[in-house]
Amino acid sequence: MGNLLSQASTLASKVDLMLLVLLALSGFFVVLISGLIIFFAVRYRRGSDADRSHAPNTSLRLEIAWTVIPLLMGLPIFVWSAAAYFDYQRIPADALEIHVVAQQWMWKMEHPDGQREIDQLHVPMGQPVKLLMISQDVIHSFWVPDFRIKQDVLPGRYTTLWFEATEEGTFPLRCAEYCGTEHSRMLGEIVVLKPTDYQQWLAGQDSGAASPAAQGEQLFTDLGCSSCHRLDDDLGRGPSLVGVFGSEVRLANGAVVLADESYLRESILRPGAKIVATYQDIMPTFEGQVSEEELISLISYIQSLQDEEEPR
């Protein structure tokens, strides 16, 4: 198990440095203000010989000083932390995508090739890992203290998180959001392996299941989606899904939206919410008919159609 001081990801050292700077500044002001309180309490105590005649009510210089100085000290910290935040929000293009479904009271993981884990996640060291997460019931929070990462996992909405592990070992995974009576038992672990060991681990897992994209392709056919969303050049009753993931889609009301995971999920469960331009609102809802794991498989299949896109 990792300890509270281990820095097991590329983000950890940045977070720790920022925390130390903030603690140092806070400590400086605590000492300064406490010292001034003690000094003035002693200097101007009752019975002292301090001159109290014509005491000023206001001081423009003092007002400006205690406004401008903290502002000048706070702005660099704001810029620094904002730059770190935006840098962290940019997920590397080569990140390994792993799906996470939270449920009272467990973490369910699925790797790109279909290997599944519960309350344990094996990842390679030195490679960015992207987690696409959603909850089946209530709000959870995916927290790995040694990586200095934490992200709420919400019902009905995808959230993402990424990290790059820098140390081998096993690190605790916790739920940081109270999620019910067994919240304290929603425990897991991240197992970081060398890339070669990770590949051996993948090869040794007899999951008995196809990849999420392959499962999604089968489900796409079983649900009858292929009868309307054609993959060939013939127009169907629904828009083609080839190359749609990551593109901009024009809607019937004139708006333009990005076809990301959240858009595709909404289009499957509530197809009438956003109608694609030139198409009619005829698609039935699949809400309550497919699980979160099946939704992820369908989205993975649609995402895989990127490779089949041809110029049109």
Q: How much is the pLDDT for 4?
A: 55
d(CA 167, CA 213): 31
Dump pLDDT digits (tens) for 76-124.
999 999 998 888 889 998 999 999 999 999 999 999 888 889 999 999 9
pTM of the entire structure?
0.78
> CATH topology of 1-37+91-209 equal to that of 212-308?
no
CATH number belonging to domain 212-308: 1.10.760.10
Domain locations along the chain: 1-37+91-209, 212-308
Say how far apart CA 85 and CA 42 lie, in whole Å.
45
Phi, psi for 166 (deg, rounded to 5): -115, -5
End-to-end CA separation in angstroms for the chain: 53
Structure confidence at residue 310 (pLDDT): 44
pLDDT at 166: 94
- Residues 290, 268: contact at Cβ < 8 Å? yes
Measured CA to CA in angstroms, residue 294 lies from 20, 114, 235, 287, 311 at distances of 44, 12, 26, 12, 30
pLDDT recorded at residue 100: 94
pLDDT tens for the chain, residues 1 to 312 = 444 568 899 999 999 999 999 999 999 999 999 999 999 898 888 878 877 777 777 888 889 998 998 899 889 999 999 998 888 889 998 999 999 999 999 999 999 888 889 999 999 999 999 999 999 999 999 999 999 999 999 998 899 999 999 999 999 999 999 999 999 999 999 999 999 999 999 888 765 667 888 888 888 888 888 888 877 656 678 888 888 888 889 998 888 999 888 899 988 988 888 888 888 888 888 888 888 888 989 998 988 887 444 433
Q: Which residue has 């934490």 as its token pair?
A: 150
Q: Which CATH class is domain 1-37+91-209?
A: mainly beta
Q: Are residues 287 and 270 in contact, defined by beta-carbon separation less than 8 angstroms? A: yes
